[in-house]
Amino acid sequence: MHPSHRIPALMLLGTGSNVGKSLLVAGLCRLFADRGLKVRPFKPQNMSNNAAATAQGEIGRAQALQARAARIAPDVDMNPVLLKPESDRGSQIILQGRVAGHLSSGDFSRRGDFLPKVLESFERLSDGADLILVEGAGSPAETNLRARDIANLGFARAAGVPAILVGDIDRGGVIASLVGSHAVLDAEDRAMIRGFAINRFRGDVGLFTPALDTITRATGWPSLGVVPWFADAARLPAEDGLDLIRGAPARDGALKIAVPVLPGIANFDDLDPLKLEPGVELVFIGPGTPLPGDAALVILPGSKTTLRDLARLREEGWDIDILAHRRRGGHVLGLCGGYQMLGKTVRDPLGLEGPAGAAPGLGLLDIETELTPDKTVREVAVAHPESGTAGRAYEIHLGVSDGPDRARAPFRVDGRSEGARSADGRVVGTYLHGVLTSDPLRRAWLENLAGKPLAEGEAYEPAVEAALDRLAGHLERHLDIDAILALARSRS
| Residues assigned a catalytic role | 336, 433
Residues 112-119: contacts with CB within 8 Å, 24+ apart? Answer: 112/147, 112/148, 112/149, 112/150, 112/154, 114/45, 114/80, 114/81, 114/150, 115/150, 115/154, 115/155, 115/158, 117/80, 117/81, 118/44, 118/45, 118/80, 118/81, 118/150, 118/155, 119/158, 119/159
Q: Report which of 124, 27, 16, 137 is spatially closest to residue 82, judged by C-alpha positions.
A: 137
Q: Report which of 306, 312, 396 is spatially closest to residue 343, judged by C-alpha positions.
A: 306
- The DSSP code sequence of 387-402 is TTEEEEEEEEEEEEEE
Bridge partners of 151?
A: none
Q: Are 16 and 29 in contact (CB under 8 A)?
A: no
Cα→Cα distances 482→113, 196, 485, 487, Å: 36, 14, 5, 9
Within 347-459, residue ranges assigned H as helices are 439-450
Query: What are the residues whose beta carbons fall under 8 Å from the beta carbon of 289, sequence distance 6 or more?
Result: none
Q: Report which of 188, 194, 196 is spatially closest to residue 169, judged by C-alpha positions.
A: 196
Rounded-to-integer distance, Cα 385 and Cα 375, Å: 27
Listed in order, strand segments (DSSP E) in 115-185 are: 131-135, 163-168
Q: Are 236 and 467 in contact (CB under 8 A)?
A: yes
